[in-house]
Amino acid sequence: MKLIVVGATGLVGSEIIRQSLEIDDITEVIALARKFVQVEKNSPSSKLTNVIVRDYAEYPEDVKAKLSGADACIWTVAITPFRASNFPFAEVKRVCQDCTLAGFKAIYEAGPKIPFRFVYFSAEGTPRDPSHRPMFMGDYQVMRSHTENMVIGFPGQYPGTQICIAQPGVVINSTTWSRATLAFLLRGVNLFTRKIPNVDRSELSAAVLHQAVHGVERETLLNADLVRLGQLALKARGYL
Ligand SMILES: NC(=O)c1ccc[n+]([C@@H]2O[C@H](COP(=O)([O-])OP(=O)(O)OC[C@H]3O[C@@H](n4cnc5c(N)ncnc54)[C@H](OP(=O)(O)O)[C@@H]3O)[C@@H](O)[C@H]2O)c1
């Protein structure tokens, strides 16, 4: 199968790329990003194609041609809440919402395989009802809610599309010292409770790859679903 990973150099996107290269069912991986993806030296990179865009809103014909015939896409592009204060809100909305629509349309116009699976990353706690405005980062959360609802509408507008909304909690990883410290603390707390929803980056990536390859279990996957599916997928691949 042919898989497109959008936002391929990001925290989650880069791990999805790494794992996708190890999965035999995936024969072609398109890493769509604004810069080249670096893969580890011993990684089986022959099925990887880097496709560079200047902006996630713009898909020239030569880019679209490389996106054609995809079975699935995993969309990770967003300005995350921690970075949102560095940008005007209009730009945050453009990247999170307008670019999702532009990218989806470009892939659909390029002619995907049918069924075409579109896995969209959101976050646990995003209200499904946009009239429900959370106290914390209300405008941002309502905008992400509208974006989720836009994606949920894709199958009705674009026949043959199946969608999955992944709603992880905190993505735990050890890519920096501060993140490694947080990961250490959360893994400790997780031995007793997972009251703070969190998922390991490798579990999360395995879970969404499983949905993209084998089909969508349900329209929205909460953090607990992602942990369960990710652990099952990693176990099946001999990692746990
Ligand atoms: N990290 C978490 O703890 C967490 C928790 C819950 C939900 N999520 C959700 O999971 C998804 C992926 O998260 P992540 O942590 O992997 O995010 P990330 O690394 O910060 O960003 C993901 C991608 O978005 C693109 N992007 C970021 N800022 C941009 C900007 N200003 N203009 C254009 N493109 C921009 C980048 O594309 P390039 O590759 O081209 O640079 C990047 O690869 C997001 O939807 C996020 O909200 C994350």
The domain spans of the chain are 2-172+200-236
Compute CA distances 40 → 20, 165, 172, 192, whole Å: 13, 29, 21, 35
Report d(CA 50, CA 8) in Å as an integer: 9
Find out whether the beta carbon of 34 lies less than 6 Å from any atom of ligand 1. yes
CB within 8 A of 193, min separation 6: which ones?
none
The string of pLDDT tens digits covering residues 115-128 is: 999 999 999 999 99
Q: If you measure from the C-alpha of residue 119 to the centroid of ligand 1, how many angstroms do you get, rounded to a whole number?
A: 14
21 close to 39: Cβ distance less than 8 angstroms: yes
Q: Which residue's CA lies nearest to atom 8 of ligand 1?
A: 123
The string of pLDDT tens digits covering residues 183-196 is: 999 999 999 999 99
Report d(CA 44, CA 17) in Å as an integer: 11
pLDDT-derived band at 141, boundaries 50, 70, 90 = very high
Q: If you measure from the C-alpha of residue 27 to the centroid of ligand 1, how many angstroms do you get, rounded to a whole number?
A: 25
Q: If you measure from the C-alpha of residue 6 to the centroid of ligand 1, how many angstroms do you get, rounded to a whole number?
A: 10
Q: Which of 145, 44, 46 is nearest to 96 (CA)?
A: 145
pLDDT at 30 over 90: yes
> Residue 215, by phi and psi: left (phi above 0), alpha (psi -120 to 50) or beta?
left
Q: Which CATH architecture has domain 2-172+200-236?
A: 3-Layer(aba) Sandwich (3.40)
pLDDT at 40 over 80: yes
203 close to 226: Cβ distance less than 8 angstroms: yes
Kindly tell me the number of DSSP H helices and DSSP E strands found in the chain. 10, 9
For the record, the structure tokens of 218 come out as 């349900």
197 close to 169: Cβ distance less than 8 angstroms: yes
Find out whether the beta carbon of 150 lies less than 6 Å from any atom of ligand 1. no
pLDDT score of 38: 87
Please give the average per-residue pLDDT across 213-232, as a whole number: 97
In sign, the C-alpha dihedral spanning 141, 81, 84, 144 is negative
